[in-house]
């Protein structure tokens, strides 16, 4: 063999070896588990803080990941496994919303109009699920000695929504400057004060994934102000500083999209099989190389969980065709009446869009809504027995603009409005309206909505959230 051929042979062999090594490092050398909840519980046993990413605000799948973990915590304690007995769930809400959730946990009541008008159905389902967690803990504690009893708490880490007029007076740049320079630091201070007062509690954060990124980050990831520098630290930086880097574990999350397979989804499929529904937690700090960077990004997370399910878009409660819902939206619009800030304008626009879907009327201000409601007898549930096609007819008479709002607020696509697909879309909207009514309607309206839901689905559920699960499984083909 000539010298040139030897060199070529060695070169090709080296490239093949390098390729095999790089590919194998994703799977063979990277620590992973197909039991994310069990793994998180182990991590929490040896860390004071676990930070779990909310990868789509107000959507069902991220909320369910929290509930799955809490259920696993309770079941492990019930099996007499060694687990932390004092746990605090830290949420991306302010103190007022924290108080609302505490009330929901103990009485089942709903939040006040400031929050309720902007809620998704899935967020109310999350509150119901947290209430069930609280009930499971109470049941467990009644059966075990005091030394084994569990303590569960809720902490809202955000500053009050209207601090310095952030959500009411600041323009886009001023509110972004608050987001960049102050918000995460103030949230961390609230958590730190709580931790000092509750030194035995383990903390599980459920927060937007961006806030879990370590290091100095460019917070203007959308390029809103390209001529300026917006580098600053996120929440985890201050949490690391107080608790110590070794006591904080941060976990990003991703869904498994139906129609595309990005790198993390390919890895998940490789590890669990193409048909499996098993989720995977991958530790990002085990092997860091070029391939890992391509598939998993920078190492500012300690791990990533790939959830073997696609996201379902959050459904706006404010679009429920109900007189009481219009009143709740109007209460919130009144609170925003004198506000001209960036976030206030966005919220006002959102509520007016939802009201157009709920009523079939177009509004440009809260004053118009108030005037219309004062003159109108609008109410879907004015009869003892309301035929289901009454709501169907209302939804079918959608103008082009209203269909555009359905696409915008419900994230429907053009395919949803084509025959025969449109019939399925109408059925979804009818069921959604009935589920929303079960949450915010009067006693008689709730009873009627449940009766119609049973007739339409053949399913007898106790809570609106159970019908929302039925909807996702039977109309969206989702497993959660």
Closest CA relative to residue 240, chosen from 259, 214, 261: 214
Task: Report DSSP letters for 33-48, one per residue.
Answer: ES-HHHHHHHHHHH-S
* Helix 421-440 vs helix 323-335: crossing angle, to nearest 10: 70
* Helix 235-243 vs helix 184-197: crossing angle, to nearest 10: 30
Output the CA–CA distances (angstroms, integers) from residue 115 to 151, 191, 202, in the order listed.
Answer: 27, 22, 28
Q: What is the pLDDT of residue 288?
A: 42
Domain definitions of the chain by residue range: 32-306, 317-474
The tens digit of pLDDT for each residue in 242-257 reads: 999 999 999 999 999 8
Confidence bin at 310 (pLDDT 50/70/90): very high
Contact 125, 59 (CB under 8 A): no
For the chain, the maximum distance between any two Cα atoms, rounded to a whole number of angstroms, is: 96
CATH architecture of 32-306: 3-Layer(aba) Sandwich (3.40)
- DSSP-H helix ranges across 198-322: 235-243, 263-272, 290-296
Q: What is the pLDDT of residue 41?
A: 97
Determine which of 72-86, 194-208, 381-395 has the lowest per-residue pLDDT on average: 381-395
Within its chain, how far is the Cα of 390 from the centroid? 33
Q: What is the mean pLDDT of the chain?
A: 88
Contact 152, 84 (CB under 8 A): no
HSE of 365, CA atoms in CB hemisphere, 13 A = 7
Closest CA relative to residue 276, chosen from 34, 438, 457: 34
Average pLDDT estimate for 120-137: 96
Q: Buried (b) or exposed (e) across 370-382, using 16+ Cβ within 10 A?
A: bebbeeeebebbe
């Amino acid at each position: 063999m000539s010298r040139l051929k030897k060199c070529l042979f060695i070169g090709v062999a080296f490239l093949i070896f390098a390729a095999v090594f790089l590919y194998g490092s994703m799977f063979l050398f990277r620590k992973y588990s197909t039991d994310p909840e069990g793994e998180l519980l182990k991590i929490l046993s040896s860390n004071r803080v676990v930070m779990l990413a909310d990868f789509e605000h107000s959507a069902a799948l991220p909320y369910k990941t929290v509930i799955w973990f809490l259920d696993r915590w309770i079941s492990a304690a019930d099996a007499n496994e060694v687990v932390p007995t004092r746990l605090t769930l830290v949420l991306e809400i302010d103190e007022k919303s924290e108080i609302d959730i505490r009330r929901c946990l103990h009485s089942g009541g709903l939040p006040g109009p400031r929050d309720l008008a902007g809620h998704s159905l899935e967020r109310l389902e999350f509150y119901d699920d947290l209430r069930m967690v609280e009930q499971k803990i109470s049941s467990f504690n009644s059966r075990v000695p005091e030394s084994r009893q569990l303590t569960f708490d809720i902490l809202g880490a955000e500053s009050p929504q209207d601090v310095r007029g952030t959500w009411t007076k600041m323009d886009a740049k001023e509110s972004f400057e608050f987001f960049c320079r102050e918000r995460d630091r103030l949230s961390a201070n609230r958590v730190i004060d709580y931790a000092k007062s509750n030194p035995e509690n383990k903390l599980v954060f459920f927060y937007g994934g961006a806030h879990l990124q370590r290091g100095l980050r460019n917070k203007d990831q959308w390029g809103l102000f390209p001529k300026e520098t917006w580098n600053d630290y996120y929440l985890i930086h201050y949490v690391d500083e107080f608790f110590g880097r070794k006591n904080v574990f941060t976990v990003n999350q991703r869904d498994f999209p139906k129609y595309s397979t990005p790198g993390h989804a390919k890895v998940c499929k490789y590890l669990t099989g193409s048909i499996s529904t098993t989720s995977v937690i991958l530790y990002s700090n085990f092997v860091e190389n070029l391939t890992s960077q391509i598939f998993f990004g920078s190492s500012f997370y300690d791990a990533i969980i790939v959830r073997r399910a696609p996201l379902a878009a959050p459904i706006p409660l404010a679009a429920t065709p109900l007189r009481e819902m219009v009143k709740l939206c109007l209460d919130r619009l009144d609170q925003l009446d004198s506000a001209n800030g960036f976030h206030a304008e966005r919220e006002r626009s959102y509520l007016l869009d939802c009201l157009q879907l709920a009523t079939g009327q177009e509004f440009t201000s809260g004053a118009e809504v108030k005037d219309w409601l004062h003159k109108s007898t609008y109410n879907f549930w004015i009869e003892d027995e309301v035929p289901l096609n009454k709501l169907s007819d209302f939804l079918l008479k959608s103008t082009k603009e209203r269909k555009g709002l359905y696409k915008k607020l419900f994230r429907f696509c053009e395919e949803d409005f084509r025959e025969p697909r449109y019939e399925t879309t109408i059925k979804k909207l009818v069921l959604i309206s009935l589920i929303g009514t079960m949450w915010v309607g009067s006693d008689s309206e709730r009873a009627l909505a449940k009766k119609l839901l049973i007739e339409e689905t053949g399913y007898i559920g106790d809570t609106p959230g159970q019908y929302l699960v039925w909807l996702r499984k039977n109309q969206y083909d989702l497993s959660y």
